[in-house]
């Protein structure tokens, strides 16, 4: 079969655009198709988390995204008397970025779209509605409405939303529920409140939300009561009456748009079927209460992107793609459950139930540990993979960090100061150790295997040892632990050698003496080819695809760092 693209992505939303940027950096030929005529230009998602910003950093677009965000956004919950129930203002930035950020989605999506201009091998075609996908022995044929020519690809990823045509063609279920409660969302320019933070009103008379986005845009959301029809809620007079509950002059607002929507709690029966996969809203839908719908889609792209690139470029076998479902399903389900639970806590309209809730929350807030638990958002489920593209050594310590995201503090190198760690690690695999001779620890053969995959090698040292020439190796980058965050991390664990995936998940961790055997086992789990493989365009197995990726990333700031 003649392949027109390595990967066809259906849907030019945030998940599809992020995935295309990840694949583009790895030299993968990508075609994005979308049935719309252009990107959606009205606000939808309003909250970015630290993991999403880290992903945007990895694709070299963080400097373009940040101007459209409100970092360190505080979220306060009030009862009907405007007494504070809870506050979320997480102080730490362990992954390099604030945990809570307001943002203007159309502007961020536009930056993701513009980022594709870097790649001659990535194309976007609007006005293409897919109606059929036919798997062949070695690929997929994608057909479109309106007589547009069919396209052949090795894989198809459906990022085409809750009504996904890709999911329907896969014959995959979309299990879960749709809430009977409706909400009116109103986006207003020239913010009539003007302050930078957000609040949720857990008022049983009519729960509401007020969110500062960025660029003077504010979102209001109001629960619609059962006796109020969609037509009534769509009436401009009704909309202004709702807004008038929170501002003094609703007739003066500069309204961008308003609409009625419902909350969904659904997850696809499978994220992969053969050569077809799902990501973003096509794979899962969740209520808005934790602002995780958008971010979950970006997590999908980050998880799937490096795996698809490794398979397409011949660095890993097709079985690696099975780990996408194994890893993302459990975490997406946890996010859906959390968002659904928070919605149930916020939105009761029975006054006795609401009063009981308020008493319980006020009592809990008096307990310092519980208050910190909410304030620092420790309730947010974090990825921790027990199965998938990870290797847990049988003799690993009980608190092994394998399967978790590695931190991203600021570090010094011999050539640069105060850079985020991921800028040193690059865009591919990395092997990192604490203050040890990494080539000697791995052994030359294992070292060269990772080098053939384009991996970067990083030795972390205390700042006092940064310029000591011992252990120097032309293939190892020496990093100074600028503020002690890395030593504090290693103080918690006995493992001193970390094998990091491109999405910065710890694929395996071990003490120094077990590094060679751990690496061998990890190669098997990741279905990696021993020599690095040959890519779909005949790339050499010396990491040249990653060199192309790193050159593209460096030209856009992804590797050189953001001070």
Binding residues for FAD, as ranges, are 6-35, 271-281
Pairwise CA distance, residues 156 & 234, whole Å: 38
- Crossing angle of helices 368-375/351-365, nearest 10°? 110
Pairwise CA distance, residues 507 & 515, whole Å: 13
Nearest CA to 436 out of 466, 461, 400 is that of 461
Q: Which two tokens stand for residue 281?
A: 């809203």
Distances (CA, A) of 325 to 50, 221, 222, 320: 23, 33, 35, 10
**What do you get for the CA distance between the two ends of the chain, in Å?**
47
Nearest CA to 390 out of 382, 377, 401, 376 is that of 401
Pairwise CA distance, residues 546 & 202, whole Å: 50
**Residues making up the binding site:** 6-35, 271-281
Beta strand 476-481 pairing with 410-413: antiparallel
Q: Is 96:57 a contact under the CB 8 Å cutoff?
A: yes
Distances (CA, A) of 245 to 194, 206, 217, 235, 259: 16, 10, 18, 16, 18
Pairwise CA distance, residues 502 & 427, whole Å: 6
Q: Which two tokens stand for residue 521?
A: 């086992």
Pairwise CA distance, residues 446 & 439, whole Å: 8
Report the SS3 class of residue 518. helix
Pairwise CA distance, residues 228 & 230, whole Å: 7
Pairwise CA distance, residues 535 & 549, whole Å: 13
Q: Token pair 């990741």 is at which residue?
A: 526
- Read out DSSP for 371-440? HHHHHTTTTS-----SSSS----TT--TT--TTSBPP--EEEESS-SSEEHHHHH-SS-EEEEESS-HHH
Helix-, strand-, coil-residue percentages of the chain, each rounded to 5: 35, 25, 40
Q: Which two tokens stand for residue 543?
A: 């990491």
Largest CA distance in the chain: 75
Q: Token pair 């990333």 is at which residue?
A: 553
> How remote is the C-alpha of 242 from its chain's centroid?
33
Pairwise CA distance, residues 449 & 383, whole Å: 28
Pairwise CA distance, residues 185 & 256, whole Å: 11
């Amino acid at each position: 079969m003649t392949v027109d693209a390595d990967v066809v992505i259906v849907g030019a939303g945030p998940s599809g655009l992020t995935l295309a940027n990840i694949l583009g950096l790895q030299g993968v030929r990508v075609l994005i198709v979308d049935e719309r005529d252009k990107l959606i230009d009205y606000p939808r998602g309003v909250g970015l988390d630290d993991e999403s910003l880290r992903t945007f950093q990895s694709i070299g677009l963080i400097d373009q995204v940040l101007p459209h965000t409100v970092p360190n956004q505080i979220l306060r919950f009030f009862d009907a008397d405007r007494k504070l129930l809870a506050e979320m203002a997480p102080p730490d930035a362990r992954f390099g970025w604030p945990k809570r950020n307001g943002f203007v989605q159309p502007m961020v999506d536009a930056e993701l779209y513009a980022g594709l201009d870097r790649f001659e091998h990535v194309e976007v075609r609007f006005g293409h509605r897919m109606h059929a996908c036919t798997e062949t022995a070695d690929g997929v044929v994608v057909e479109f409405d309106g007589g547009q020519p069919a396209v052949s690809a090795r894989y198809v990823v459906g990022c085409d939303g809750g009504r996904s045509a890709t999911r329907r063609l896969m014959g995959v279920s979309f299990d879960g529920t749709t809430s009977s409660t409706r909400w009116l969302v109103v986006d207003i320019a020239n913010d009539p409140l003007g302050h930078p933070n957000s609040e949720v009103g857990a008022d049983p008379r009519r729960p509401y939300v007020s969110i500062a986005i960025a660029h003077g845009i504010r979102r209001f959301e109001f629960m619609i009561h059962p006796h109020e029809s969609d037509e009534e809620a769509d009436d401009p007079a009704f909309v202004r009456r709702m807004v008038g509950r929170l501002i003094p002059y609703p007739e003066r607002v500069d309204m961008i748009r308003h609409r009625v929507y419902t909350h969904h709690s659904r997850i696809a029966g499978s994220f992969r079927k053969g050569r077809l996969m799902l990501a973003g809203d096509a794979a899962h839908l969740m209520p808005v209460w934790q602002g995780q719908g958008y971010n979950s889609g970006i997590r999908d792209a980050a998880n799937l992107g490096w795996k698809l690139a490794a398979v397409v470029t011949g660095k890993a076998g097709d079985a690696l793609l099975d780990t996408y479902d194994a890893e993302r399903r459990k975490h997406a389900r946890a996010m859906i459950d959390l968002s659904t639970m928070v919605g149930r806590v916020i939105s009761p309209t029975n006054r006795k139930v609401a009063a009981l809730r308020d008493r319980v929350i006020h009592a809990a807030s008096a307990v310092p540990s519980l208050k910190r638990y909410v304030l620092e958002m420790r309730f947010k489920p974090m990825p921790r993979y027990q199965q998938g593209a990870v290797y847990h050594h049988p003799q690993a310590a009980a608190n092994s960090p394998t399967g978790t995201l590695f931190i991203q503090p600021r570090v010094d190198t011999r050539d640069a100061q105060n850079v985020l760690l991921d800028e040193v690690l690059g865009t591919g695999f990395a092997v990192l150790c604490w203050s040890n001779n990494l080539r000697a620890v791995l052994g030359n053969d294992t070292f060269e295997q990772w080098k053939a995959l384009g991996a970067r090698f990083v030795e972390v040292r205390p700042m006092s040892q940064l310029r000591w020439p011992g252990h120097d190796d032309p293939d190892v980058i020496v990093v100074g632990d600028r503020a002690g965050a890395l030593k504090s991390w290693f103080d918690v664990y006995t493992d001193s050698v970390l094998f990091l995936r491109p999405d910065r998940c710890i694929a395996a961790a071990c003490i120094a003496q077990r590094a060679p055997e751990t690496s061998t086992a990890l190669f098997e789990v990741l279905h990696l080819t021993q020599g690095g493989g040959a890519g779909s365009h005949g790339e050499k197995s010396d990491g040249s695809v990653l060199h192309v990726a790193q050159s593209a990333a460096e030209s856009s700031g992804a590797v050189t760092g953001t001070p």
